[in-house]
Amino acid sequence: MRTRMSTRTHTTIAYVLFAAFSWAQVPATPAGAPASAPAPPDPIAPIVARLDLERYKATIKGLTQFGDRRQGTERNRQALDWVEAQLKSYGCTNTERIQYEYAPPAAGAGRGGRGNPANQSQTLGPGGARRRGIRQPESVNNDPLKQPDLKLRELNTPPSVPGQREEVFCTKVGDTHPEEMYIIAAHMDGIGWGEAANDDGSGTALVMEIARVLSSPDVHTDRSIRLALWNNEETGLNGARAYVAQRKDLQGKESPAGSGKYPEPKWLGMIQHDMMMFDHGMPHKDGTMSKDQRPEADVNIEYQVTSKFAEEAMQLARKFQFANEKYATDYPANIGPHMTNTDSTPFQDLVPALSLRESERGSQIGNGWDPHHHQPTDVFATFSDDDFRLGLNAAQTTLGAIAQLTGAKLTPVTSSREN
Ligand SMILES: [Zn+2]
């Protein structure tokens, strides 16, 4: 009895609320249409939730088995084969390779800005960033004896040899607009006599894990997404430059004509991921660093304010920041205008381009905020779960943003077969 009364009361209240709501808020609702249907569930959230800290760590660990993966070595080629095999195993089976030649420039010529003492003494850092606060020197370790792990030292010993280079990508093909794509990328080569775990195993694993999630048969997108792992970043962005030179004029062309296939979909945006894990703050006055990830660590989204597509890139960066607010579990994202020293640079005057990092490249990493950068200590064992989690949050940010931008949704595989 009590139960019945209670039910009737609730029903009455519900009806009154329903009627009031329909009348006040939705006057145009046609008769018989469900008026108070709950908001549809966000189709993106369950896709982003498929990213996982342990899988991300395992992929970084897998990359570190090839040491520093220096370009032009057997260990670099083996790492490339491994990356391609992993992509295929995730279901990103349409892998392709770019080929190009690389020979190091004559001794003395270096990459712009880096290691240039004149630059390092100035207030302006790489990319036009303003340097502030305590600065530690930034350098590349070239001394094998600084690697205390003898096995790793031996693995990293064979030198780079000039000649042909390769790099790999695979593509998630859009259902309704296969002729347009975003490029999600990182560089798989490293230097410094460590394991290139952070620079750039962390970005490479991020791209691979996003490839894994997007390649699930129940994930569909309207537009295409290319997952690219550049080589030769550390020698001056040569792999990304080769891709741009070989592919920029192929954009949006259907080939063969009438096939519905687009070998190089039109570029809508390019997003690079380079050093994703270590944000322990500014160095102390005595040159030491905090041993812990700072609690206020953030993902740094950068665009280049002097680039041709600066305005569009800034808007794209906002979309990534909002996606971070919505989908990243632990760390926020901030935007800076001085993207530099990474593979998005060759794209920045052709398409809106971003880089995601652990810290701003010019003002922070350029001021020595990452003491493992290009050092023998850039090994898997250096990093804690709080560090790895920053990389995972960057992956959540990029996957959330790119899923929104490409119209991603989950379509149950079984019901679509029945239809
Ligand atoms: Zn890097």
**pLDDT tens across 28-54, in order?**
445 555 567 888 889 999 999 999 999
State the average pLDDT for the chain.
90
* 168-174: average pLDDT: 98
Is there a cis peptide before residue 337, judged by omega within 30 degrees of 0?
no
Residue carrying the six token digits 């296939």: 261
Lowest mean pLDDT, pick from 54-58, 127-131, 392-396: 127-131
Question: How close is the Cα of 60 to the center of ligand 1, in Å?
Answer: 14
For residue range 245-285, list pLDDT tens digits in order.
999 999 999 999 999 999 999 999 999 999 999 999 999 99
**pLDDT at residue number 206:** 98
Residues 6 or more apart whose Cβ sits within 8 Å of residue 29: 22, 35
Question: How close is the Cα of 75 to the center of ligand 1, in Å?
Answer: 18
Residue 294 dihedral angles phi and psi, to the nearest 5°: -70, 140
Share of the chain above pLDDT 90, in %: 79
CB 334 within 8 A of CB 322: no
List the structure tokens of 265: 């979909």
Question: How close is the Cα of 287 to the center of ligand 1, in Å?
Answer: 23
Listed residue (370, 306, 339, 353) closest to 127, CA to CA: 339
Question: How close is the Cα of 276 to the center of ligand 1, in Å?
Answer: 9
- Has residue 193 got a pLDDT over 90? yes
Question: How close is the Cα of 28 to the center of ligand 1, in Å?
Answer: 55
Question: How close is the Cα of 231 to the center of ligand 1, in Å?
Answer: 11
Question: How close is the Cα of 417 to the center of ligand 1, in Å?
Answer: 43
* pTM for the predicted model, two decimal places: 0.87
Question: How close is the Cα of 169 to the center of ligand 1, in Å?
Answer: 18
Residues 6 or more apart whose Cβ sits within 8 Å of residue 122: 131
* 105-111: average pLDDT: 62
For the chain, the distance separating the N- and C-terminal CA atoms, rounded to the nearest angstrom, is 46
